[in-house]
Amino acid sequence: MPDPSLASVRRICIGVLAVLAGLRALVVSPAVSAAAEDDFEWLRHARVFIVDGYTYPLFPRIEFDAEKLAATMVDMHANTLRMATSGNYWFIPETQFETAPDLGERDLLAEAIAACKPRGIRVVAYVRCGGAVAAEIVKPEWAYRATPDGQIPVRWDLGARRAAFCWNTGYRAAFLDLIEKLVTRYDIDGVYFDAWKLFYRFRPPYVCYCDGCRRGFRHAIGLELPYRKDANQYSAAERKIIARYHDWYREQMVAIFRETKRIIRSHKTIPLIFNLNHARFIRNLRFTDPRIVDESDAFLYEMSRTMLERVEGTSLAVSHGLAVWPYSDAYHGYPRIGFYRFGRRQHLFATMAFGGSPTLYHTYFFVDHAAAREPVREAFGVFARNEQYVAGFRSIPFCAVVWDDRDPPGHARRGHLWNYNARLNTSGAFAACLDRHIQVTSFLKEDLSDLKRLSRYKALYLPDIGVLTERQVQTIRQFVAQGGGLVMTYATSLYDETGQRRKDFALGDLVPVRPVELDQAAKEKIAATTVFGSPWDAYFRARPGQSVLNRPLTGDLLPATLYEPVAVRPGGQVIADVVLHGDPKPFFPALVVARYGKGKVAYLAGAVGAMYRQTHLRQFADFLRDVIRWVSPDGLPYEIEAPSGLMANMTACDNVRVLHLINWTGCKLEAPMQNAYYLPPVRNVRIQYRLPPGRSVAAVRLFVPAECEHHVQGGILHVTLPQIDAYQGIVIELE
């Protein structure tokens, strides 16, 4: 392996030569490229700037100065540049693709490398991967054809008339040739693909009628592709043929991805990153193939909207083992000015605290708007100065809240004021845990089949996860029997894999309850106490003497939600009941707990997550906190006295723990792309961290210098912070 310092000198020299030669292609030998890495840990704590090919400074005309941008990135503590090689046009020479009209002799990727590498900034090359580009440069023989007579659809998007490619044309060979040139000519640190998306910019029913698709499908399957002008007029037999075409096309794309990876890895040990768009697509065949997800190294999310969505989606990817680059400030239409301040800063803090690499979409305006840099500089600077407590650290697994957005037929409820569905229940459950400072991770539903992955957690929370497979049910049984804690709510496990309602809970042997067939009197009571989509003068009430729930619920009334009428079986203990109209007689059980093997389980009949998501009533979150505490074999790892707007996440590496605290106080409405102009501080924050058995505290440090008091009493580390402004990280060194 070459000496790293010599490699650095060579890279600098190459950069200088490229500039003197008019910045033509920067040609480097693999022998002098970045040293091969055994892993790509840097992907998990990159601070990413983007120069995109669809907007300023590359479109509609090139206004790019690599030296100024690199200097700006250093000032703002950014350490990775995702640089466009393509967009509406291409920006590097000597490929089969047409370059931007005003590119001339320039090579923008070479310019970026020459400016960034001497400053210690990694460069990841952006590659358009299918999709659509400026229509005037899409060669007809490469185009997606929407009809058998060869129609090439054209649409306006991002400032240009654009047309799409099909992989089963000469585009495939041109793309692979481009990849070969990228990894042999340029000293890049990774390749980003936008995106390995099936039928990218195709129209329903997502069939291409180019010669390559028609001949290839006929040769592979022995059938002709059907066509109807009205997509609703396809027969059942024709739809089956189209489904087979989709499967065939998917295999074509997987093969192209694998060939792309082979080419890259034959020259460089660098990561492959692609635009997965959203957490919901990790296992969604409609977006991409799971094999491409599994065989890639990191993913970009275009989910920069609410803070809840950011934290939930980032933790979902991390819990699945993925490195994730979430956008932090994305598709607004003002790329030449800066206006997001505190909101963007807090989103950056949250992304980094939960294990993601924040990725800024519009960045070039910072070059000439120095005053706009400070919020980003502050957030990036805190993590840059404390990188020894970031690299290699992972979130501590404690409570896994399963993510779902699929309702069985007829299950979702829509009312005049209040709605109930899988997405509201799962997002509300995660929000309640986050607001009550529970160490929480969003968890992919498909991972419920993986006992090894699930067993990392102390508590599993199934918020109205109606459909569970037999394998998932068996894995959950094993998890609890081995000592894990289970919380399940509402209709969890009441539906089979086809979406049909079961006669009993599939998990009913863990939580001893069964659905109740309602008599006419019960139906009338429920109807009389349901208004606007939610209970009316109906409540959850704790039973006297129970020890699961703390005040204010004990002895008091909690607002009820829609609930599943159930009866308790032997072995179950009723902790709270549904009560109506002040009637002291219980109507149905609301909370039932039990033990199963070495573990503990709790069933909550109400759809509490959905109602919390819509009302933010703290009593719901307190209720859930108490239940999670009870089912956990070791209680909660830490408890925090602070407003719900202070978000917390603990990470660990070896003998060091870091408790990240992000201020999101005040009512931010949690609406997409809302700016924040004022952020009040959080005062008098008190933390209790339960030390692992046999461990003591060697030191307590802070990411941000501030006043802090701490002491240990009875195996608990007590930390008091008089004030947290934007963010704080508490480093706990154990011995």
* 251-276 pLDDT tens trace: 999 999 999 999 999 999 999 999 99
* Tens-digit pLDDT profile for residues 634-671: 999 999 999 999 999 999 999 999 999 999 986 555 66
Q: Given this model, what pLDDT does residue 693 score?
A: 93
Whichever domain contains 320, its CATH number is 3.20.20.80
Tell if the pTM clears 0.85, that is, is over it. yes
* Residue 320 pLDDT greater than 70, yes or no: yes
Domain shared by 541 and 690, yes or no: no
Q: Does residue 392 sit within a domain? A: no
More confident residue, 672 or 192: 192
Of all helices (H) and strands (E), which one includes residue 156?
Answer: strand 155-157
Residues 6+ apart with CB under 8 A from 564: 490, 491, 494, 515, 605
Q: In DSSP terms, which residues pair with 498 in a beta bridge?
A: none
Whichever domain contains 670, its CATH number is 2.60.40.1180
Amino acid at 583: D
Domain shared by 185 and 286, yes or no: yes
Number of domain units in the chain: 3
Domain shared by 319 and 447, yes or no: no
Mean pLDDT over 125-144 rounds to: 89
Determine the structural domain holding residue 699 and report its residue range.
640-734
Domain shared by 648 and 691, yes or no: yes
Q: Given this model, what pLDDT does residue 49 score?
A: 98
Binned at pLDDT 50, 70 and 90, residue 228 comes out as: very high
Tokens read off for 279: 């957490």
**Closest to 88 in 3D by CA, of 52, 141, 112:** 52
d(CA 67, CA 714): 56
Q: Given this model, what pLDDT does residue 304 score?
A: 63
Domain shared by 698 and 614, yes or no: no
Domain shared by 291 and 379, yes or no: yes
d(CA 4, CA 339): 41
* Residue 672 pLDDT greater than 80, yes or no: no
Mean pLDDT over 390-415 rounds to: 95
Mean pLDDT over 321-344 rounds to: 86
Domain shared by 32 and 173, yes or no: yes
Mean pLDDT over 161-173 rounds to: 93
Q: Given this model, what pLDDT does residue 29 score?
A: 34
Q: How far apart are the first and last CA of the chain?
A: 37
Q: Given this model, what pLDDT does residue 23 score?
A: 39
Quick check: bond before 576 cis, omega within 30?
Answer: no
Mean pLDDT over 694-700 rounds to: 96
Q: Does residue 245 sit within a domain? A: no
Q: Given this model, what pLDDT does residue 306 score?
A: 86
d(CA 43, CA 427): 27
Q: Given this model, what pLDDT does residue 694 score?
A: 92
Asked whether the beta carbons of 472 and 348 are under 8 A apart, the reply is no
Q: Is 111 exposed, middle or buried (0-12, 13-18, 19+ CB in 10 A)?
A: buried
Mean pLDDT over 48-60 rounds to: 95
Binned at pLDDT 50, 70 and 90, residue 303 comes out as: low
**Closest to 655 in 3D by CA, of 709, 692, 614, 701:** 692
Mean pLDDT over 442-457 rounds to: 96
* Residue 7 pLDDT greater than 50, yes or no: no
Supply the mean pLDDT for the chain.
Answer: 91
Q: Does residue 60 sit within a domain? A: yes
Domain shared by 471 and 558, yes or no: yes
* Residue 17 pLDDT greater than 70, yes or no: no
Domain boundary among 341, 362, 385: 385
Q: Looking only at Cα atoms, what is the longest distance across the chain?
A: 88
Q: Given this model, what pLDDT does residue 25 score?
A: 37
Q: Is 287 exposed, middle or buried (0-12, 13-18, 19+ CB in 10 A)?
A: buried
Indicate the DSSP class of residue 226: P
The three-point CA angle 208-211-215 to 5° equals 100
Q: Does residue 138 sit within a domain? A: no
Domain shared by 613 and 717, yes or no: no
Tokens read off for 488: 């399940």
Indicate the DSSP class of residue 554: T
Binned at pLDDT 50, 70 and 90, residue 16 comes out as: very low
* Residue 250 pLDDT greater than 80, yes or no: yes
Residues 6+ apart with CB under 8 A from 219: none
Quick check: bond before 57 cis, omega within 30?
Answer: yes
Indicate the DSSP class of residue 569: P
Q: Given this model, what pLDDT does residue 665 score?
A: 83
Domain shared by 64 and 187, yes or no: yes
Q: Given this model, what pLDDT does residue 235 score?
A: 96
* Residue 539 pLDDT greater than 70, yes or no: yes
Q: Does residue 229 sit within a domain? A: no
Instruction: Tell me the three state secondary structure of residue 307.
Output: helix
Domain boundary among 332, 350, 385: 385
Domain shared by 553 and 587, yes or no: yes
Q: Given this model, what pLDDT does residue 673 score?
A: 66
d(CA 436, CA 313): 19
Amino acid at 76: M
Q: Does residue 41 sit within a domain? A: yes
Residues 6+ apart with CB under 8 A from 140: 152
* Residue 480 pLDDT greater than 90, yes or no: yes
Rounded to 5 degrees, φ, ψ at 242 are: -65, -40
The three-point CA angle 44-46-48 to 5° equals 135
Mean pLDDT over 363-368 rounds to: 96
Mean pLDDT over 385-389 rounds to: 97
- The percentage of the chain sitting over the pLDDT mark of 90, rounded to a whole number, equals 80
Q: In DSSP terms, which residues pair with 682 in a beta bridge?
A: 724
Domain shared by 354 and 495, yes or no: no
Q: Does residue 159 sit within a domain? A: no
Q: Does residue 264 sit within a domain? A: no
* Residue 3 pLDDT greater than 80, yes or no: no
* Residue 124 pLDDT greater than 80, yes or no: yes
